[in-house]
Amino acid sequence: MRVINHTQQRGFTLVEIAIVLVIIGLLLGGVLKGQELIENSKIKNVINDMRGVSAAYYAYQDRYRAVPGDDAQAANRFNGANNGTGNGVYNSLYNVAPAVGNESSLFWQHTRLAGFMTGGGVGIAQQGLQPSHAAGGLLGIQAGTAATLTGPTGALSGVVVCAGSLPARYAQAIDAQVDDSVGNTGSFRATAVNAAANATAQVAAAVYNVATIDQNLTACLRF
C-alpha cells in the first residue's frame, strides 16, 4: 500500500500582508515626494530664468545706457549686431521669430554679444533665438503696455518677461511666490493661449484652473 504525503501549503499571514502593504506605501510615497521635489525645483528655476532676463536687461542698460534689443548703436558696439530703433519700446512679442526688425529677438542678440546671456552663434537667426525656460517653453521679453493688448501684459506697464507653455500649477505656484496669487492682477499675470502661444491671445482669469484641467499658460512678470 502506497502512502501519500500531503504537503500543507501555508498562505501569507495578515502580518506579512501588512508589511508588504507598508513597503508598497513607502515606495509610492517616495516616488510622489520625488516628483514633488522635481516640480518644486523646476518652479524655482523658472523664477530664476525670468529674473535672469531682467538682470541682463538692467546690466546692459547700466553699461551702455541703452535698452538691449532697442539699442540704436548696437552695430557700433558689437561685430555683426543689428540696431534697434532707439525709442525705448519693444516693437514685437516675446515669442517672435528672430529677425532684424524684431526688437524682442534683438534683445537676445545684444545681451549675448555683450556677455550677459549665454548662447548665440552667427547672425540674428541664431543670436536672436529665444531660449527655453526650465519647464520647457519659450522665454522672452516684450513691452507691457499697449492699447491693443488684452492678455496678461495688457495692464502691465513697462517691460515684461514672459514664459510660454507654462503648466497652470507652475504659474499658480510662481504667482504665490513672487506676487499676489491672482492670475489677472499684480506684477505677475497669466493667460490661456491658443496654438500661436501669443502672450496677448486671451483675457487672463483671476483663478488658476488646476483642479479640473492643468492647461498650459503664458505668464508674464513685470520688471
* pLDDT tens figures, 163-202: 999 998 999 999 999 999 888 888 898 887 643 444 443 4
Average pLDDT, the chain: 84
Name the grid cell of 29. Answer: 510615497
Q: Where are the beta strands (DSSP E) in the chain?
A: 139-143, 159-167, 188-192, 216-222
Grouping H, G, I as helix, E, B as strand and the rest as coil, residue 188 is strand
**pLDDT band, very low/low/confident/very high, at 119 (cuts 50, 70, 90):** confident
d(CA 95, CA 40): 25
Query: What pLDDT score does 101 carry?
Result: 92
Sign of the dihedral through C-alpha 70, 91, 156, 199: negative
Name the grid cell of 89. Answer: 519700446
**Domain spans, the chain:** 45-222
Q: Give me the mean pLDDT over the 123-150 stretch.
A: 83
d(CA 77, CA 139): 25
3 has pLDDT over 90: no
Tallying the residues shown for the chain, one arrives at 223
pTM of the full predicted structure? 0.79
**pLDDT band, very low/low/confident/very high, at 20 (cuts 50, 70, 90):** confident
Cβ atoms of 112 and 81 within 8 Å: the answer is no
d(CA 45, CA 37): 12
Query: What pLDDT score does 53 carry?
Result: 98
Cβ atoms of 81 and 101 within 8 Å: the answer is no
Cβ atoms of 202 and 193 within 8 Å: the answer is yes
**pLDDT band, very low/low/confident/very high, at 1 (cuts 50, 70, 90):** low
* pLDDT tens figures, 62-117: 999 999 999 999 999 999 999 999 999 999 989 999 999 999 999 999 999 999 99
